[in-house]
Chains A and B, each alone.
Chain A
Amino acid sequence: MAKNNFSSKIFLYLVSAVIFMFFFSFMLVPLYNVFCEVTGLNGKIYGPSSFFVKDDVEKKDSREIRIKFLSQVNESAPVNFFPSSNEVRVWTDKVSKTSYIAENTTDKQLTLTIIPSVSPGLAAENVKKIQCFCFEEQILKPYERQEWPVRFYVSSEVGDNVNDIYLSYTLFETDRVLTDNMNHGK
Chain B
Amino acid sequence: MSAVIENHEHDHHGPQKGILRWLFTTNHKDIGTLYLWFSFLMFLTGGAMAMGIRAELFEPGLQLMDPIRYNQLVTMHGLIMIFGAVMPAFVGLANWLIPMQIGAPDMALPRMNNLSFWLLPSAFIILLSTAFMEGGMPGFGWTFYAPLSTNYPNIAYFVFAVHIMGISSIMGSINVIVTIMNMRAPGMTLMQMPLFVWSWLITAYLLIAVMPVLAGAVTMLLMDAYFGTSFFDAAGGGDPVLFQHVFWFFGHPEVYIMILPAFGITSHIISTFSRKPLFGHSSMVYAMVSIAVLSFVVWAHHMFTVGMPLAAELFFMWATMIIAIPTGVKVFNWVATIFKGSITYETPMLFAIAFVVLFTIGGLSGLMLAITPADFQYHDTYFVVAHFHYVLVPGAIFSIMAAVYYWLPKWTGNMYDEKMGKLHFWLSFIGVNVTFFPQHFVGLAGMPRRYADYALQFAEWNAVSSIGAFLFGLSQLLFLYIVIKAVFAGKKATAQVWDGAEGLEWTVDSPAPYHTFETPPKVNG
Q: Which residues of A are interface residues toward B (Cβ below 8 A)?
A: 3, 6-7, 10-11, 14-15, 17-26, 28-29, 32-33, 36, 39, 41-44, 74, 113, 115, 119, 121-122, 170, 172-174, 177-178, 180-182, 184-185
On chain A, the residues within 8 Å of B234 by CB distance are: 74, 115, 170, 172
How many residues of B are in contact with the other chain, CB < 8 A?
48
Cross-chain contact A25 with B178 (CB below 8 angstroms): no
Q: Which residue of B lies closest to A21 (CB)?
A: B212
Q: Does B246 interact with chain A (Cβ within 8 Å)?
A: yes
* Given A14-B177, A17-B208, A42-B241, A122-B213 contact (CB < 8 Å): no
Q: Chain A residues near B155 (CB, 8 Å)?
A: 184
A99 to chain B, nearest CB (A): 22
A25-B212, A184-B135 provided; 10 other pairs, C-beta below 8 A?
A: A6-B182, A11-B174, A20-B212, A21-B213, A23-B216, A25-B215, A29-B231, A39-B309, A177-B230, A181-B150
Say which residue of A7, A41, A113, A172 sits within 8 Å of B308 (CB atoms).
A41
Interface of B is mostly: helix
| Residue B129 CB within 8 A of the other chain | no
| Given A25-B213, A28-B242, A122-B309, A184 and B153 contact (CB-CB distance below 8 Å) | yes
Q: Does B236 contact A (CB under 8 A)?
A: yes
- Residues of chain B touching chain A, judged by Cβ–Cβ distance below 8 Å, are 108-109, 135, 150-156, 170, 173-174, 177-178, 181-182, 208-213, 215-217, 220, 225-226, 228, 230-231, 233-237, 239, 241-242, 245-246, 249-250, 307-309, 312
| A25-B246 in contact given A11-B174, A15-B174 (Cβ < 8 Å) | yes
Whether the Cβ atoms of A177 and B233 lie closer than 8 Å is: yes
Q: Which residues of A contact B225 (CB under 8 A)?
A: 181
Cα–Cα, bound, A182→B151 (Å): 10
Ranked 5 nearest A-B pairs via Cβ: A25-B216, A172-B235, A21-B212, A22-B212, A25-B213
Can you report 8 residue pairs joining A to B where beta carbons are below 8 Å apart?
A10-B178, A17-B208, A25-B220, A28-B216, A32-B242, A115-B237, A122-B309, A174-B235
A22 contacts B181, CB within 8 Å? Answer: no
Tell me the nearest residue of chain A to B181, going by C-beta: A10
Are A11 and B178 in contact (CB-based, < 8 A)?
yes
Asked if A18 and B212 sit within 8 Å, CB to CB, the answer is yes
A7, B108: Cβ atoms closer than 8 Å: yes
**A177–B245 alpha-carbon span in the complex (Å):** 23
